[in-house]
Structure 1
Amino acid sequence: MTAIMNFTFDHFELDTTSYQLRSNGEPQAIEPQVFNLLAYLLQHRERIVSKSELMDTLWAGKIISESTLSSCVKAARKAIGDGGKTQKYIATVNRRGFRFISPVREQAAVKNSTMLPDSSDQQGGVNELLRQSALAGSEENGNVCLFPIRNLAPDKRIVIAVLPFQCLGADLVSFFAETLYEEINIHLARTPGFLVTSRNSGAYYRANPASQSNIARELGAQYIVDGSVASLGDRLTLSVKLLETESDRVLWGVRKNFPLESLGEQLEDIILNITSAIEPEINRVELACLRKRRQVDLAAWELYRQGHAVLGLKGWSEESFEECADLLRHAIAKDPELAFAHAYLALTLAIGHLVGLVNHDGWHEEALAAAEKAIALDSQDPDVLGYVGCAFSDMGDFFRGIKLLERCVELDPSNAQGWAALGAAQLQTGNEEGFKNMYHGIRISPRDNRIGAWGALLARGLLSYGRVDEAIEVAQNACAFDDKIFLPRVVLGVALAQADQPEAAARAFEDARRIRPKLTISDIQRFVKPEEMQKMQDYALLS
């Protein structure tokens, strides 16, 4: 026989034998994962339970966002008559997690041994019940792995294993290494298409050392993020690298030194710089692999990923935008429920028309339909919100676009595209807060292949507000970042003309025509305000 615990508080009873929540003896409707959450908080009520612990423990084999966990906590509170304001039973401890705070009475319950392994340990019985329930419910409830993954069923997503950072130093360094490891896990798990193994998997290999090839094989990981943290006097040295497991190649690496005293101030920037560098590197490798395969073998997700990478790799032209849109249409044909493909198609068509590269009949209707479909399929994913919000703004619906973009960065503060698009839309509506948001988006993702475009839009905004010298500097940096996009060169030419530098402006337009030989006067005029037209004409830059 196995002894496990039932929990009673006020007029509620959580019965872990019959899997029921009762109020005054009457069974209450409660979802399985909400029951699991409530049972776990009751079992560990003597301490604060972190968000990462809840996600790692209760969502087996899946990746979830913090918004999913928040929804589950909200449902648990509702089931027991609690709320986020009252917090009579489940308290939120700011930036740390949750704790069950009401007095609880425990009562041993008996469960037949055919249903649970025999054990005399009461807490272990509850743990086992939670483990079995989490494993049984993982298919429909989340995405975080509970135990080291072996022999995973086929999954179209890219699997990344983030290993615990080696730590050489004092307690502060150890804390930094653990925090960095946890935050990189969380940030990468938010990226569509990435299946990130859980912190528990990393902890397993910290306790049971293995070669990286063995780790990759056991976890089914195509990529591994590894690193170390060491203190040298009053400075800290951080090393991080991204490895492709099949070829054992180091795709990317960074080594940084900074003062220990500024550790807290720089932590967020360090995390964002690392995670924003990883996705572009993986995209490059994945696209190269996809090109080697026949098109008929590509699944919807792979088509989406390939379409997503086209503009960054091939530059901006009618041909690249059409190729991108066609890949996304094929992805949608294979999987009409793929919200990311609908969202990115809407963005591609909208921004393509804005810059004069998408002009076919029906583009607006197609973009609008794709945007609406994406939101209908998934209105809570930050990337979907970011793409669709940008699309609406580019089509002139700034009210709706800005609302979606604000929601995007609220859900995922590390979403650089969301910040950049929000800033651009705000500037279009006369809100100078947009400058700060655009600069922030560029700062947190300095290797993003979209920075050339973002820089062009930022420079155009600066020019509109009379900040000509700053606009020139930003446009020049955008040109230097990306040699395949004409947009920042056109904006640079306009800015130089306003600064009474006609020869430099002419060179900028000439460089734009190098990239886009059929650049027309009307293409340039898209980026010229009426009050700027006089100098463009005086210097014969539109002839």
Structure 2
Amino acid sequence: MSKTNTKIWSFGAFSLDEASFELTQSRVPVAIEPQSLRVLIFLLRHRDRVVPKEDLIEAIWQGRAISDWAISGAIKAVRVALGDIDRDNRIIKTIHGCGFRFVADAISTDREGGRGPKATVFVRVFRSTGDNAEADYLADSLTEDLIHSLSRHDALTVLSYNTAKALGAEAPGDIYGVTHVIEGNLRDIKSRIRVSTAILDAKTKNQIWSERFDLTRDSLLAGHDLIADRLLAVIAPDRSLAARKPRGTLNSNAYDAYQKGRYAYFRYEPQAFAQALSQFEKAAELDPDFANAYAQQAYCRTTLYVFGLPGSDETLGPAEALAREAIRRDETAALGYARLGWVLGYLGRPEETIAAFAAAIARDPENPEAYLAYGETMNRLARPQDAGPLLEAVFSKDSFLPPSWEFPQGHCQLLLGEQDVAVGHFQAVLDRVPRFIPARVQMVRAQWELGDIEGARQTISRIKNIAPRYSLAHARRMFPYPVRKEANALTEALSGAGLH
């Protein structure tokens, strides 16, 4: 491996070791999300000046269009970790209209020899090759599984799956301190799946190791574990993987169907939701104890019902039953509780909704998706003041998030009366996921309230092109506000713009 210099920072009772990627206070580790720690490192490195938010965006988010929520959420998380929450902010100052500055006294010492005992790994999304279109989901599944497997070891810092998806072939910025890059490709060849993978030195780009694996669909899980073991043996040869985190099933075929379902669902296309449901049903048939397969069925059935798509149930009763079945099968898994909270929010049962999401977060406090679903459910209950902190937490968990995840921020801002800000969020979603109907529905309301009547009518036209059967009744079902003011405002905008 190439050698680089990293620093150990000391300020007050705090110490930040870039090599071990750890913040301590009086030698006691401080809990802080990786993204927020990178923000702190960047501010320390540039403590001699005010850092504009544009510089943070370039360094942490690599120049991507992100919302102010992401920045404010990360800064807030740093301040909470440092106990810098007084109005005078003794450590990090906000210079209004300019940016942020680290103002506390700090000293640094150089550490020679790279990032010390802790390697930082970036797993690029594996490429699928050949003529089989289904290989795309296999490559995506392998990438996610390797990231989760390697993340279990405290000798490694592994960049998230969302980061891998967002960056694609790009390299992470210097602030990430990546030491190893893992890349590869996957080819689905009739009875076997051939995986070629390599490890690169992140600084020199030289290949350190490569190997080819031949897997079968019946051995996918064992194959993923074998690849993870071999990668760890090269990156941290004196370590072994920690106890494997359960995937919810030991049945490779059930896992394969489950991953097909996830891949279909997150295309966010109307016809894909029914395809996803079919795969989740297949996963549960292959392994009746696969709790997450029931949870995702609940999610799909809720989506089909809310969107009014063909094959939807007449009520949300089946979706609620499936979410509860997921919990019955495995009450330690967070996903069942998160999906139950999602369903109960649509059913207008706020106390049960809050309890379900609280149970999900207690079981998996690092999962940004649970906070996102909780926050958007609070929006749908017309409680944006409760949604805001939950959505801020989403952006403290990860630097890069799926494009549709910006929708709840826009929804929250719209409910708070910030229509201009909301339009920006909705447009950011639609630029990347143009068939995402919830963003178009709320865009109509924002445009209508801003007086852009023609824009609202054009948005309605696009909704009808995406989902010809979509009606005002479906919109009310999608956003079942219990507060009459919000329900009436949405109805007025949609009907005025031509949705009936």
- Normalising by structure 2, we get a TM-score of 0.51
CA gap 1:535/1:350 in 2 versus in 1, 3 angstroms:
closer
CA gap 1:356/1:422 in 2 versus in 1, 3 angstroms:
same
Aligned counterparts, 1:132-151, within 5 A: none
Contact 2:258 2:279 in 1 (8 A): yes
Structure 1 residue matching 2:391: 3-state secondary structure: helix
Contact 2:419 2:446 in 1 (8 A): yes
Q: AA paired with 1:496?
A: Q
CA gap 1:239/1:397 in 2 versus in 1, 3 angstroms:
farther
Number of residue pairs matched by the alignment: 307
For 2:458 and 2:340, the matched residues in 1 are separated by: 36
Q: Which has the higher contact order (CA 8 A, sep 6+)?
A: 2
Q: Counterpart in 2 of 1:346?
A: 298
Match of 2:383 among 420, 430, 442: 430
CA gap 1:466/1:330 in 2 versus in 1, 3 angstroms:
same
Structure 2 residue matching 1:392: 3-state secondary structure: helix
CA gap 1:540/1:338 in 2 versus in 1, 3 angstroms:
closer
Aligned counterparts, 1:407-446, within 5 A: 407-427=359-379, 428=381, 430=383, 432-441=385-394, 444-445=397-398
Contact 1:398 1:425 in 2 (8 A): no
Match of 1:531 among 489, 494, 499: 489
CA apart distance, 1:334: 1.3
For 1:500 and 1:253, the matched residues in 2 are separated by: 55
CA apart distance, 1:501: 0.5
Unaligned runs of 5+ in 1: 1-92, 98-168, 183-187, 204-226, 256-281, 283-296
Structure 2 residue matching 1:196: 3-state secondary structure: helix
Q: Counterpart in 1 of 2:282?
A: 330
Contact 1:468 1:499 in 2 (8 A): yes
Q: AA paired with 2:412?
A: G
Q: AA paired with 2:111?
A: D
Q: Which has the larger radius of gyration?
A: 1
Cα shift readout 1:165-213 (whole Å, capped 9, x = no counterpart)? xxxx94288457717469xxxxx99x7797625888979xxxxxxxxxx
Match of 1:474 among 425, 438, 448: 425
Structure 1 residue matching 2:276: 3-state secondary structure: helix
- Normalising by structure 1, we get a TM-score of 0.47
Match of 1:304 among 236, 254, 258: 258
Match of 2:328 among 360, 376, 386: 376
Structure 2 residue matching 1:299: 3-state secondary structure: helix
CA gap 1:358/1:240 in 2 versus in 1, 3 angstroms:
farther
Contact 1:398 1:429 in 2 (8 A): no
CA gap 1:372/1:243 in 2 versus in 1, 3 angstroms:
same
Q: AA paired with 1:489?
A: R
Structure 2 residue matching 1:541: 3-state secondary structure: coil
For 1:414 and 1:483, the matched residues in 2 are separated by: 29
CA gap 1:472/1:328 in 2 versus in 1, 3 angstroms:
same
For 1:339 and 1:485, the matched residues in 2 are separated by: 28
CA gap 1:424/1:172 in 2 versus in 1, 3 angstroms:
farther
Q: AA paired with 2:275?
A: E
Alignment partner of 1:391 is 2:331: no
Q: Counterpart in 2 of 1:153?
A: none
CA gap 1:446/1:322 in 2 versus in 1, 3 angstroms:
farther
CA gap 1:193/1:362 in 2 versus in 1, 3 angstroms:
farther
For 2:153 and 2:395, the matched residues in 1 are separated by: 33
For 2:320 and 2:398, the matched residues in 1 are separated by: 28
Contact 1:310 1:323 in 2 (8 A): yes
CA gap 1:344/1:254 in 2 versus in 1, 3 angstroms:
farther
CA apart distance, 1:516: 2.3
Q: Counterpart in 2 of 1:511?
A: 462
CA gap 1:513/1:236 in 2 versus in 1, 3 angstroms:
closer
CA apart distance, 1:443: 6.3
Question: Percent identical across equivalent pairs?
Answer: 16
CA gap 1:467/1:496 in 2 versus in 1, 3 angstroms:
same
Contact 2:119 2:180 in 1 (8 A): no
For 1:367 and 1:229, the matched residues in 2 are separated by: 40
Contact 1:307 1:328 in 2 (8 A): yes
CA apart distance, 1:468: 1.3
CA apart distance, 1:416: 1.6
CA gap 1:353/1:236 in 2 versus in 1, 3 angstroms:
closer
- The more displaced of 408-417 and 521-530 is 521-530
Contact 2:457 2:497 in 1 (8 A): no
Q: AA paired with 1:306?
A: K
- Give the superposed CA RMSD: 4.6
CA apart distance, 1:228: 11
Structure 2 residue matching 1:337: 3-state secondary structure: coil
CA gap 1:533/1:236 in 2 versus in 1, 3 angstroms:
closer
